[in-house]
Amino acid sequence: MKYKISVTVLVMLIIMTSSCKENSKTMPEENNCNDTIVPTAEQIDYLGITDVNHLSAASKRALKWPTDLGNEWFIEFSDLKPLKGDLAYEEGVVRRDPSAMIKHDGKYYVWYSKSVGPSQGFGGDIEKDKVFPWDRCDIWYATSEDGWTWKEEGLAVARGEKGSYDDRSVFTVEIMENDGMYYLCYQTVKSPYNVRVKNQIGLAWSTSPNGPWTKSEEPILSPADNGIWKGTEQNRFLVEKKGDFDSHKVHDPCIIPYKGKFYLYYKGEQMGEAITFGGRQIRHGVAVADNPKGPYVKSEYNPISNSGHEICVWPYNGGIASLITTDGPEKNTIQWAEDGVNFEIMSVIPGVSAHAIGLNRTADVEKEPTEILRWGLSHIYNSYDYQSIMRFESRRKTTHVAKGESSK
């Protein structure tokens, strides 16, 4: 039950407001007036406010928090746990960016980026070297009966022929199953792989999770073409115009069937990317299509986040939920959008141990808001050159008690 503010408190607020302008002329350091904020008695008690006449900036922000949120969105992640079988760490091999998992014929399926050998960066011969661990990748897949022990089944989608839009690397893959068809969307790079190269998004489809896969002849999504590089030096921070939030790269695609359409969520990187008070300036966008193969049209509301890194989205309660990690002022939050576009923060969680999360799409997403995060796959940096896939788990946290203390 909501409590109403007492008459005494209301009168005090009216007096405080009327004297606000006069006080500000003589004592600006004491001017902490709250012209439009009238806290209820319940808010005063819950937030521990000492004096309604002197509300700090923090208290003002707290008074704007939604009052109908519980702790059902608040979770903690465990440490990552190693997998068994073919997905155990293998020296000299990169396996990273696991897709979501689906189940077919009693087995879990996962797809991932795979390459071999160390990375040399941009200092050498980029035509011959491997500049990143995700450079010179192909997409492979594996199966498991229990989610712990995995069998690598082989190549799913290979890099394209020389001169094609995906001839350098195909990586960071996601799976979507829809109407008896399977779709893999993924990042692509065309040679030469320099620091100003513009990543795109490709698509492949099949009637079976075991393939064979047919690739799209052209990208299904490309960066915005409205930024302008400054000069010809291979320096991605030199720009005359930064352009849209995704003017440099479109990354980490994930397609969700939603309200009769197909929503392609992706990470955007901007030309001349900045560092802000939240870290790297990374934001998410969405493009919508009537058909899984496109064409995809970017939302006029993009960007739809001001933070994040890898895309991690799932349907819940008629909307779309999103785990935002790593970069930006709203990192380490879980957000939800009733319309799949306008996201609001539902919880702020401790640091996330999992990266490039592969969700368990077999989970009952309507059981709890975060049920799909109870377990899944992640990658870990065993070293800069080599990464492997591991398992994450999470749990809801509803109370904070001392040892031996009852939570009831």
**For the chain, what is the HEC assignment?**
CCCCCCHHHHHHHHHHHHCHHHHHHHCHHHCCCCCCCCCCHHHHHHHCCCCCCCCCHHHHHHHCCCCCCCCCCCEEECCCEECEECCCCCCCEEEECCCCEEEECCEEEEEEEEEECCCCCCCCCCCCCCCCCCCCCEEEEEEECCCCEEEEEEEEECCCCCCCCCCCEEEEEEEEEECCEEEEEEEEECCCCCCCCCCEEEEEEECCCCCCCEECCCCCECCCCCCEECCCCCCCCCEEECCCCCCCEEEEEEEEEECCEEEEEEEEECCCCCEECCEECCEEEEEEECCCCCCCEECCCCCCCCCCCCCCEEEECCEEEEEECCCCCCCCEEEEECCCCCCEEEEECCCCCCCCCECECCCCCCCCCCHHHCEEEEEEECCCCCEEEEEEEEEECCCCCCCCCCCC
pLDDT, residue 35, reads: 53
CB 218 within 8 A of CB 164: no
pLDDT, residue 245, reads: 97
Separation between Cα atoms, residue 57 and residue 262, nearest integer Å: 41
CB 222 within 8 A of CB 236: no
Separation between Cα atoms, residue 272 and residue 275, nearest integer Å: 10
Separation between Cα atoms, residue 54 and residue 41, nearest integer Å: 15
- Which residue type, as a one-letter code, is found at position 139? I
pTM of the model: 0.89
Please name which of 296, 297, 293, 347 lies closest in space to residue 325, comparing C-alpha atoms: 347
Domains and CATH numbers, the chain: 7-63 (no CATH), 75-396 (2.115.10.20)
Using 50 as the pLDDT threshold, list the residues of the chain that sit under it: 1-34
As a residue count, the chain comes to 408
Using one digit for the tens of pLDDT, what is the confidence trace for 289-345? 999 999 999 999 999 999 999 999 999 999 999 999 999 999 999 999 999 999 999
CB 130 within 8 A of CB 101: no
pLDDT, residue 131, reads: 96
